[in-house]
Chains A and B, each alone.
Chain A
């Protein structure tokens, strides 16, 4: 088992690095929380379960509707974005960002974070 404090630190740094990134959570593919930086009104357990559910459906769409391997799921809301990315077989990353965020930067930063997390989980 990897030290959860290492993951927590990584997520914390990621969220603090850009003002428009508002939260991040790492969850298991079956929907259990691993580590998260979320605002107090967001329930960690529910967030984890929802993240796993939506990623599974997105991946199913990629597969059945011949879109290939799913890189990320991007939910655009009135007030901001939620992004879900698979971190290998062990985890799913959820990132929450405000509307003002630059999408290109967000994707880049997220990819970088995934690359940092993945080796810790294997």
Chain B
């Protein structure tokens, strides 16, 4: 049986933990702690190590989902998790322009750590002030629409939407000639 390791990353509050919880068939291993930094303005808890969940696809593949922390002080966790994934979802909260700069920095960090396929998942598109996909792509520095990763809207609170997003990533993976570890 094929196990695919999938990273779920993005800045604080993008919806990584919610995403993994929405789809996992096992009880998620999460490491939430009460937030005392700026995160507290958005929500009460934040991830300090990782989220782990699992999903079996109809095709028989098993996805191991690893949600990362979002703050830069946890970059050592990114270094542990991201180089080992077969592909990853990069989540962006489209309704928080104040986070776009950090998103771009984080995306560049991830790209330096791994060349594996990624897709961009746009969350909070139902929220007030949400930016359009094309504008988000530009703020992330993804100017060339021919070479940039696929961009998909995803509501992390909705398992159906999360499934769609993961299916897109797996399709992306199957296009490339990746080695299962």
A-B contact count (CB 8 A): 50
* Pairwise interchain contact A60-B36, C-beta atoms closer than 8 A: no
> Is the beta-carbon distance between B49 and A28 smaller than 8 angstroms?
no
Residue among B33, B34, B35 having the largest count of chain A Cβ atoms under 10 Å:
B33
Q: Which of B29, B33, B74 contacts A29 (CB 8 A)?
A: B33
Of the residues B36, B49, B73, contact of A56 by C-beta under 8 Å: B49
Inside 8 A of B48's CB, which chain A residues have their CB?
29-31, 49, 52-53, 56
Q: A30-B48, A56-B49, A57-B49 are in contact. Are A49 and B76 (CB under 8 A)?
A: yes
Contact of A112 with B by CB under 8 A = no
B49 touches A53 (CB 8 A): yes
Cβ–Cβ contact B31 & A32, under 8 A: no
B interface footprint on A40-57 (CB within 8 Å = 1, 0 otherwise): 000001101110111011
CA distance A46 to B64 in the complex (A): 27
Decide: B73 and A49 in contact? CB cutoff 8 A. yes
The reply to whether B36 and A28 contact each other, CB–CB distance below 8 Å, is yes
Query: Is the CB–CB distance between A56 and B74 below 8 Å?
Result: no
**A-B pairs with beta carbons under 8 Å apart, 18 shown:** A30-B33, A30-B35, A30-B36, A30-B39, A30-B48, A31-B73, A31-B74, A32-B36, A32-B37, A45-B73, A46-B73, A48-B73, A49-B48, A49-B73, A53-B74, A53-B76, A54-B49, A60-B31
**Other contacts beyond A46-B76, A49-B71, A52-B33: 5, CB < 8 A:** A28-B36, A29-B33, A32-B37, A50-B76, A56-B33
